[in-house]
Amino acid sequence: MTGVVKTFGQTRALNGLNLQVETGEVHGFLGPNGAGKSTTIRVLLGLLRADSGEVSLLGGDPWNDAVELHRRLAYVPGDVELWPNLTGGEAIDLMGRLRGGLDQARRKELIERFDLDPTKKGRTYSKGNRQKVAIISALASDVELLILDEPTAGLDPLMETVFQDFILQAKAEGKTVLLSSHILAQVEKLCDKISIIRLGEVVQSGTLTEMRHLTRTTVEATTTQPANSLAELPGIHDFEHDDGRVRFAVDGDQLDGALRGLTQLGVRSLISHPPTLEELMLRHYGDELEASNGGRHAASGAEQN
């Protein structure tokens, strides 16, 4: 996609978006809610028509060649709606057949692994189970490309792991995956490349290693010796020190050095957590985000920093 613009009335949902996904890669499509992830995907699926810009999908035009392209891909929406009177099993089969058929053995395996009762009617499924129906149908189809729009919303952590197994399996089979998410950790586990979207534009794109400088890990520790010296190390930010307790953030590519420094001080407890997408977005685009997302977000962000 190059320079894609899509407006809805006054709102400019996509503002000259560029996105490139190579064959065979698992591409993470990261952005906060309302950034334009779903709109981008719907343009790729030919459900929405771009106002301007160029879009090419599997070598075709998503608007004009929709049917041919859709035979080669499977899509899982972020908010799956099922027909109240159709059972989950019927919905799985229907969607698979409309794509051009699905692998029965794989369907059986997926239903077992995801622990779905396919005999229940659509109206009785919870959100997580509706999500499973769409995921199973997509993964059981023999396609080249999987387009997944926040597919695991509503799934419990156990099922999230099952999902990750199947995505890695799809990757091993050479399938291309576009995975949209607002959870950085999920994307980090699965993706070769990441594009970050914000306000309808892709602001960062690259491999995880290339993005390391963007991720900053927060470390909290209690040490036997004073940790003042750590503040001098490269890549350390927001250093706080108080009576044997130390708290700082460290750039992803400087983490090793910081930990080496820390271990020499006699570590008695250690907590570290990776940055959330929200922190990342706030750190890099804080001021603009404040303007666009309104006061509440900005206020909480100010406290964190």
Partner 1 sequence: MTTTTAPPAAPEQAVRRGGNSLTGTATMIRFMLRRDRVRIPVWILALTFAAVSTLANFEQTYSTVADRQSAVDLLELPAMVAMVGPNYAADEYTFGAMLGHQMFIFMAAVFALMSVLLFVRHTRAEEEAGRSELIRSSVLGRHAQTAAALLVVGGTNVVTGLLTALAISGSSAEGVTTSGAFIFGMGLALVGVTFMAIAAVTVQVTEYSRGASGMALAVLGAAYAVRAVGDVGDNGLSWLSPLYWGFTTRSFSSSERAWPLLLLVAVAAIMIVVAVYLSTRRDVGAGLRPPRLGSPSAPDSLSSPLGLAMRLQRANVLGWAVGLALFGLMYGSILDGADEMFEQISALQDMVADVEGAGLVESWVATVMSFLAMIVSIQAILAVHRLRVEESRGRAEPVLATAVSRRDWMASHLTVAFVGSAIVMLAAGIGFGATGAIVTEDGALFADMLLAATAQIPAIWVAVGLAAALFGVLPRLGSVAWIIPIYGLVIVYMGGVLGLDPATKNYSPFGHVPELPAADFEVLPLLILLAVAVVLTLVGLAGFRRRDLETK
> Cβ closer to partner 1: 111 or 265?
111
Q: How far is the CB of 75 from partner 1 (least distance, A)?
A: 4
To partner 1, the closest distance from the beta carbon of 21 in angstroms equals 17
Choice between 13 and 262, CB closer to partner 1: 13
Structure tokens at 199: 């306000």
Q: How far is the CB of 265 from partner 1 (least distance, A)?
A: 53
Minimal CA–CA distance to 70: which of 60, 80, 79, 78? 60
Three-state secondary structure call for residue 263: helix
Residue 125, C-beta contacts closer than 8 angstroms, at least 6 positions apart: 82, 88, 133
Residue 82 to residue 91: CA distance in whole angstroms: 7
- Phi and psi angles of residue 147, each rounded to the nearest 5 degrees, phi first: -110, 115
**Which of residues 149 and 251 has its CB atom nearest to partner 1 in the complex?**
149
Residue 141 or 254 with smaller CB distance to partner 1: 141
> Smallest distance from the beta carbon of 229 to partner 1, in angstroms?
54
Q: Closer to partner 1 at the Cβ: 51 or 278?
A: 51
Cα–Cα distances (Å) from 149 to 47, 75, 79, 214, in that order, read 14, 8, 9, 23
Residue 52, helix vs strand vs coil: strand
Considering beta carbons, is residue 200 or 252 the nearer one to partner 1?
Answer: 200
Question: In the bound complex, what is the minimum distance in angstroms from residue 149's beta carbon to partner 1?
Answer: 10
Distance CA 62, CA 205 (A): 22
Question: Is the CB of 36 or the CB of 252 nearer to partner 1?
Answer: 36
Phi, psi (degrees; rounded to nearest 5) at 179? -115, 110
Helix, strand, coil % in the chain, rounded to nearest 5: 40, 30, 30
| C-beta of residue 76 within 8 angstroms of C-beta of residue 134 | yes
Q: How far is the CB of 10 from partner 1 (least distance, A)?
A: 16
What residue ranges bind partner 1 (CB under 8 A)?
38, 42, 45, 47-49, 66-68, 70-71, 73, 75, 77, 79-83, 85-87, 89-95, 97-100, 118-121, 124, 134, 147
CB of 302 to partner 1, least distance (A): 33
